[in-house]
């Protein structure tokens, strides 16, 4: 089943050109892995980048650049990172983008809920984490202090009118409050990245927020 | 496909003669367009050089590839804000990755210049720790080939290069400006919106129109 909720062209363009921060880029990667249509669009943006590269006026390399390069290619290459699928918490098959990343310890924040942080490569104000919610349960009504990107990795999510299943992508900005919840008989796991944290709208989330660290 | 060699054979115009001074005047005015014959692969085709490296570890092919791309990758990195030392080093590393990963290059999926662009982009993201761009090599789902290249892959690739260039030339100047800022100056859409004094929605819709048009023109190639 292919995803039905996609990143905008603008987001894919930012991804392809390298303008997305680490967290959003992870979330978009996880979507791309499951979405041939968005991979195509991304390839197109990359093709534009390639055309541009090729048309750039060359800047001379240093005099010893080529001899250095020829020496370097003779050295043995470091062993490639294994690209075997890696399992995360609860046997979750991690998206390839996450396979080489450290996943922090799970914090069990309420019955059936946990959060596992994905440390960013850069201190850039984005917090990225895996969130598990039990069937029929979700995150209490909240807003955001900045953008939030989400991709579903297991189960299904009901968010407002939208039904999100495996690989579906969503983005919310600071003007949008919501109350997403796991839909159907199974728990859900999402990869979420957000800028600036949540704005809790109710007492329960306000109480939990320090524990959640989001 | 790709790149450089292809430029000579396709356009009959050398890279050096393109109107590239200063900023991206060439992009604003569109890509040079030709009704080329995209026949010849081989001696001056970077895809073929990469194939040679994959097949025989050809150092000659590497020298050709290095001579063409390292100085352009360096230009790219300089424009993206890297200092001269870092740009030199990452240009070296980009070509080193090309050498090591030559076997996974699939000319049926991307041109040599596109592939090299993605390698340079990823190395830069890892190296230049500016908060705006951190996307890493291991995020890149596109490095995995999905299928074997058919024997005429080079010809297909050359045709694609040509079509991409034509399609870009067909955009309106408004659209080109937004695509240019988005890609080539690597700005988030909010900044583009500030730069051009346009509402964010307008920037997004222009980009969407541009991409819809490009996708329509290129659908069969992607």
B149-171: average pLDDT: 54
CB A148 within 8 A of CB A172: yes
Distance CA B203, CA A22 (A): 23
Which two tokens mark A171?
A: 């983005």
Of A17, A47, A60, the CB nearest to B182: A17
Asked if B122's CB is within 8 angstroms of A50's CB, the reply is no
Lowest-confidence pick of A135-139, B69-73, B173-177: B173-177
pTM (2 d.p.): 0.68
Q: What is the pLDDT of residues B96-132, one digit of tens each?
A: 999 999 999 998 888 899 999 999 998 987 775 433 3
Distance CA A22, CA A15 (A): 10
Of A19, A49, A121, the CB nearest to B188: A19
- Count of beta carbons in the 10 Å neighbourhood of residue A137: 15
Give the minimum alpha-carbon distance from B45 to chain A in angstroms, rounded to a whole number. 13
Task: Show Cβ contacts of residue B89 under 8 Å, excluding neighbours closer than 6 positions.
Answer: none
Which two tokens mark B168?
A: 């870009």
Percent of chain B with pLDDT over 70: 52
Nearest-CA residue of chain A relative to B94? Answer: A69
Give the minimum alpha-carbon distance from B162 to chain A in angstroms, rounded to a whole number. 10
Q: What is the pLDDT of residues A125-147, one digit of tens each?
A: 888 999 999 998 888 778 888 88
Asked if B62's CB is within 8 angstroms of A73's CB, the reply is yes
Distance CA B164, CA B155 (A): 14
Asked if B79's CB is within 8 angstroms of A56's CB, the reply is yes
Asked if A99's CB is within 8 angstroms of B138's CB, the reply is yes
Give the minimum alpha-carbon distance from A185 to chain B in angstroms, rounded to a whole number. 31
Of B66, B139, B204, the CB nearest to A25: B139
Q: What is the dihedral of CA B190, B195, B197, B200, to 10 degrees?
A: -20
pLDDT higher than threshold 60 for residue B148: no
Task: Show Cβ contacts of residue B218 under 8 Å, excluding neighbours closer than 6 positions.
Answer: A44, B160, B163, B164, B167
DSSP B158-205: HHHHHHHHHHHHTS-HHHHHHHIIIIIS---HHHHHHHHT--HHHHHH
Higher pLDDT, B158 or B179: B179
Query: What's residue A188's pLDDT?
Result: 95
User: What are the strands, taking DSSP E only, across chain B?
Assistant: none
Of A25, A41, A125, the CB nearest to B135: A25
CB A46 within 8 A of CB A17: no
Q: Measured between alpha carbons, how far is residue A18 from residues A159, A202, B161 in Å?
A: 29, 37, 22
Distance CA A39, CA A31 (A): 9
CA-angle at B137, arms to B132 and B141, nearest 5°: 105
Query: What's residue B187's pLDDT?
Result: 67
A166: exposed, middle or buried (C-beta count within 10 Å: 0-12, 13-18, 19+)? Answer: middle
Higher pLDDT, B180 or B132: B180
- Average confidence score pLDDT of chain B: 67
Higher pLDDT, A97 or B32: A97
Question: Tokens 């026949």 appear where?
Answer: B39
Q: What is the pLDDT of residues B4-26, one digit of tens each?
A: 333 222 233 333 333 333 333 33
- CB contacts of B7 in chain A (<8 Å) are 54
A74-81: average pLDDT: 81
CB B210 within 8 A of CB A38: no
- Average confidence score pLDDT of chain A: 86
- CB contacts of A123 in chain B (<8 Å) are 131
A5-12: average pLDDT: 89
Distance CA B65, CA B53 (A): 10
Distance CA A107, CA A115 (A): 5
- CB contacts of A18 in chain B (<8 Å) are 121-122, 124-125, 133, 135, 186
What stretch of H or E contains A27? helix A22-34
Asked if B125's CB is within 8 angstroms of A18's CB, the reply is yes
Number of inter-chain CB pairs under 8 A, A vs B:
223
Asked if B188's CB is within 8 angstroms of A46's CB, the reply is no
Distance CA B210, CA B207 (A): 5
Query: What's residue A200's pLDDT?
Result: 66
CB A6 within 8 A of CB A38: yes
Asked if B92's CB is within 8 angstroms of A14's CB, the reply is no
Higher pLDDT, A100 or B186: A100
- ipTM value, please give it: 0.77
Tell me whether strands A198-200 and A107-110 are parallel, antiparallel or unpaired. unpaired
Asked if A50's CB is within 8 angstroms of B113's CB, the reply is yes
pLDDT higher than threshold 80 for residue A56: yes
Nearest-CA residue of chain B relative to A18? Answer: B133
Give the minimum alpha-carbon distance from B85 to chain A in angstroms, rounded to a whole number. 10
Distance CA A120, CA B146 (A): 29
Nearest-CA residue of chain B relative to A27? Answer: B139
Asked if B129's CB is within 8 angstroms of A122's CB, the reply is yes
DSSP A67-125: HHHHHHHHSPPPPPPP-S--B-GGG-B--HHHHTS--PPPEEEETTEEEEE---SS-SS
pLDDT higher than threshold 60 for residue B136: no
CB A53 within 8 A of CB A119: no
Nearest-CA residue of chain A relative to B16? Answer: A57
Helices and strands of chain A, counted as H and E runs = 6, 11
pLDDT higher than threshold 60 for residue B95: yes
Asked if B129's CB is within 8 angstroms of A43's CB, the reply is no
Task: Show Cβ contacts of residue A126 under 8 Å, excluding neighbours closer than 6 positions.
Answer: A21, A22, A23, A24, A120, A193, A194, A195
Q: What is the pLDDT of residues B24-60, one digit of tens each?
A: 333 333 333 333 333 334 567 899 999 999 999 999 9
B85: exposed, middle or buried (C-beta count within 10 Å: 0-12, 13-18, 19+)? Answer: exposed
pLDDT higher than threshold 80 for residue B183: no
Nearest-CA residue of chain A relative to B160? Answer: A47
What residues are paired with A110 via a beta bridge? A113
Lowest-confidence pick of A108-112, A155-159, A204-208, B155-159: B155-159
Which of A33-47, A88-102, B46-60, B189-203 has the highest mean predicted lDDT (pLDDT)?
B46-60
Percent of chain B with pLDDT over 90: 28
Asked if A45's CB is within 8 angstroms of B66's CB, the reply is no
- Count of beta carbons in the 10 Å neighbourhood of residue A53: 25
What residues are paired with A191 via a beta bridge? A130, A151
């Amino acid at each position: 089943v292919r995803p039905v909720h996609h990143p905008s062209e603008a987001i894919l363009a930012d991804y392809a050109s390298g303008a997305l921060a680490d967290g959003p880029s992870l979330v978009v990667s996880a979507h791309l892995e499951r979405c041939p249509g968005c991979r195509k669009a991304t390839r197109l943006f990359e093709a534009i980048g390639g055309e541009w590269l090729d048309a750039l006026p060359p800047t001379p390399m240093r005099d010893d650049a080529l001899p250095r390069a020829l020496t370097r290619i003779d050295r043995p290459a470091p062993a490639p990172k294994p690209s075997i699928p890696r399992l995360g918490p609860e046997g979750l098959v991690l998206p390839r983008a996450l396979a080489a990343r450290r996943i922090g310890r799970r914090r069990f924040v309420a019955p059936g809920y946990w959060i596992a942080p994905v440390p960013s490569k850069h201190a850039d104000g984005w917090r990225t984490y895996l969130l598990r919610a039990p069937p029929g349960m979700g995150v209490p009504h909240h807003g955001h202090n900045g953008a939030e990107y989400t991709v579903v990795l297991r189960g299904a999510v009901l968010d407002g009118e939208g039904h999100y299943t495996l690989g579906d992508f969503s983005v919310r900005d600071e003007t949008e409050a919501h109350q997403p919840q796991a839909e159907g008989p199974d728990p859900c796991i999402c990869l979420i990245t957000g800028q600036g944290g949540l704005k809790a709208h109710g007492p329960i989330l306000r109480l939990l927020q320090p524990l959640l660290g989001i | 496909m790709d790149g450089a060699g292809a430029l000579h054979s396709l356009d009959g115009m050398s890279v050096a003669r393109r109107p590239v001074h200063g900023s991206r005047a060439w992009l604003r005015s569109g890509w040079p367009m030709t009704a080329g014959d995209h026949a010849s692969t081989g001696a001056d085709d970077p895809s073929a050089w990469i194939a040679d490296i994959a097949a025989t570890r050809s150092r000659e092919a590497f020298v050709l590839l290095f001579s063409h791309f390292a100085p352009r990758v360096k230009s790219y990195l300089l424009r993206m804000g890297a200092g001269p030392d870092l740009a030199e080093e990452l240009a070296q590393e980009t070509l080193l990755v090309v050498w090591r990963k030559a076997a996974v290059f699939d000319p049926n999926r991307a041109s040599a210049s596109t592939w090299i662009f993605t390698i340079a982009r990823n190395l830069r993201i890892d190296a230049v720790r500016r908060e705006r761009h951190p996307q890493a090599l291991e995020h890149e789902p596109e490095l995995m080939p999905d299928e074997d290249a058919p024997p005429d892959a080079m010809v297909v690739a050359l045709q694609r290069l040509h079509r991409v260039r034509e399609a870009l030339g067909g955009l309106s100047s408004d659209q080109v400006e937004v695509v240019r800022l988005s890609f080539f100056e690597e700005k988030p859409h909010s900044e583009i919106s500030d730069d051009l004094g346009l509402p964010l929605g307008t920037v997004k819709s222009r980009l969407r129109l541009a991409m819809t048009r490009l996708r329509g023109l290129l659908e069969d190639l992607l």
